[in-house]
Amino acid sequence: MKKIFALAATALLLLNTGCSGFLDEELKSSLAPSNTYTSSYGFEVGVTGLYGLARSEFNTWGGAFASHGQACPYEALQIGTDIVFAGHKDGSLMPFENLSYTPSTTFVTSYWNYAYGMIASANEILTYSEKDGVKWDNAGDKAFYQAEARFFRAYAYRYLVYLYGDVPYVDKIEPNFRLDYTRTPKAEVLDKMIEDLKFAVANLPGDPDKVVAGRLTKWAAEHILTEVYLLAGKNTEAEASAKNVINSGQFSLMKDRFGVAKDKPGDAFSDLFIEYNQRRPNGNKETIWIMPYEYKTTGGGGANDDWSRRAWVPKYWEIADFALADSMGGRGLAQIVPLKWWIENDEFLAPNDMRNSPYNIKRDWYYNNEKSDKKGELAEITETRWNTGQLYPAPTKFFYGKVDDLAYSGSNKDRTKIRLSETYLLLAEALIRQGKTADAAAAINVVRERAGATPITAAEATVDFLLDERIRELLGEELRRFTLVRFGKLKERTLKYNTKTQNMDDHHALWPIPQTIIDSNTGAEFPQNPGY
């Protein structure tokens, strides 16, 4: 059934069904929805598929649930912003730096398919959960599985509204095949997402110590709800929602060393990104939701699920006097390279800021090739090496290497999706929007205090300062395009800081609607986004 869920993710068909309707004739096995969704166990199988789909959001090739079919889907949501440029010049990535993507560009279509594939599968779970005769093991099972499905439906629509704006809102399995969809206004879609997330908050478990690693809690839903409130302009609601998470008593910023490397050189911030440190049993009380990717582990990730290491780590191994090393981050491809304006700016990243420590940004690269006379010498970061992605200051949170396979392509430590520090910064965003700058400064200073950074005043609590702080704290964890679009700052900050992307105008805040969708929807007008 999981494979069929993935195969269903094609063009307009996704809007009509997950695994039913026109596909019914193909589903003769015991995994057909009508056979599967008859008990709590069947719904457990179904939501496992949803988690698998969600975890495939950046899958490059051959995913068991979904795949973008090209390198750099994650990078396409970082490039063409104020933080990075394309170092490796991947063909799939360059259109998003030079803004030459079209309605037929791969990721423009694949992210639409990814999201609607998840929505179709969530709708199927919700539809079958309302049928008579389901044998629920426990009284709360129905609401629990519905809460997970509704969370992931909202999670999928989050991609759609950020990338495409107005999109068809579909919340059920269509009984008949349709080619007459229209675009639902973004504000209406956001209201539906809020309904789903509020249901998830009310019906997901509240004790993170009693859920399996990677499984949702109400606090993950509440955090995403905060962001959606902000996207909808509901700032007082966002403030309350963020405070619910912060005041829950379940999470705290990690200020002391912890986990598997606590006795090795490092600091509290670097510990958050050490392999095996993302889960609560290892002492991490800051992380609210992870996606499990553990290396060579049943239920873990594969080599193509997460290429963030390849994205951020330099191609140092191309230089003759270097050799591949897990301690240097493994085999990076420098698909995205930090822009100098922020990473080389002492006013932006103060020397005493923990997030600027050698454990969090590697600035000194020493030749390590055993056959080289230069072994142990400090390598110079030249302009050419930086621009080609061979050597530059690199954030170590994405380092990943395995001594048993130094050329391994994947990054198989658990991926942190939500941390409490971001909840504080979302709270600050809600407060700034309401003019409560003193309270916003206090929220930002909680995050800066952990980093040992100088506290800010109310006068300094501006939108641009907050966007800067999100770079310092959440670089690469957030999807920077989404953040800048939500703030209405994509064009302004990209033109100000990114010399590689200087042809941006207002229409680039949205991607085009995939051409396959417009061509297939013959029964109703389906207008393209302006500028495409």
Instruction: Give the chain's domains with CATH numbers.
Output: 1-203+503-532 (1.25.40.390)
Note whether 304 and 410 are within 8 A (CB): yes
DSSP state of 326: G
Backbone φ and ψ for 280, nearest 5 degrees, come out as -60, -40
For the chain, the 3-state helix, strand and coil shares in percent, each to the nearest 5, are 45, 5, 50
Spatial distance between the Cα atoms of 455 and 442, rounded to a whole number of angstroms = 9
- The predicted model scores a pTM of 0.94
Residue whose token pair is 């009984």: 175
* Residue partners of 4: CB distance under 8 A and separation at least 6: 19, 23, 26, 27, 31
391 and 332 Cβ atoms separated by less than 8 Å? no
CA-nearest of 496, 447, 455, 492 to 472 is 447
pLDDT at 29: 55
What pLDDT is attached to residue 13? 40
- Residue 156 near residue 500, CB atoms below 8 Å: no
The helix (H) or strand (E) run that includes residue 288 is: strand 287-291
Give the three-state DSSP class for 129. helix
Q: Which residues of the chain have pLDDT under 50?
A: 1-28
| pLDDT computed for residue 470 by the predictor | 99
pLDDT value of residue 30: 61
Helix axes 218-231, 186-203, angle to 10 degrees: 160
**For 23, which DSSP code?**
G
Which residue is associated with the tokens 């670097």?
Answer: 270
DSSP 512: P
- Sequential DSSP letters for 444-486: HHHHHHHHTPPP--GGG--HHHHHHHHHHHHTTTS-HHHHHHH
Q: Token pair for residue 399?
A: 């380092």
Find, among 522, 484, 507, the residue nearest to 101 by Cα: 507
Q: Which two tokens stand for residue 56?
A: 């495939």
Give pLDDT, residue 457: 98
Helical H segments across 249-376, by residue range: 268-271, 308-312, 340-343
Maximum separation of any 2 CA atoms in the chain, in Å = 75
Kindly report, residue by residue over 368-402, the tens digit of the pLDDT: 999 999 999 999 999 999 999 999 999 999 999 88
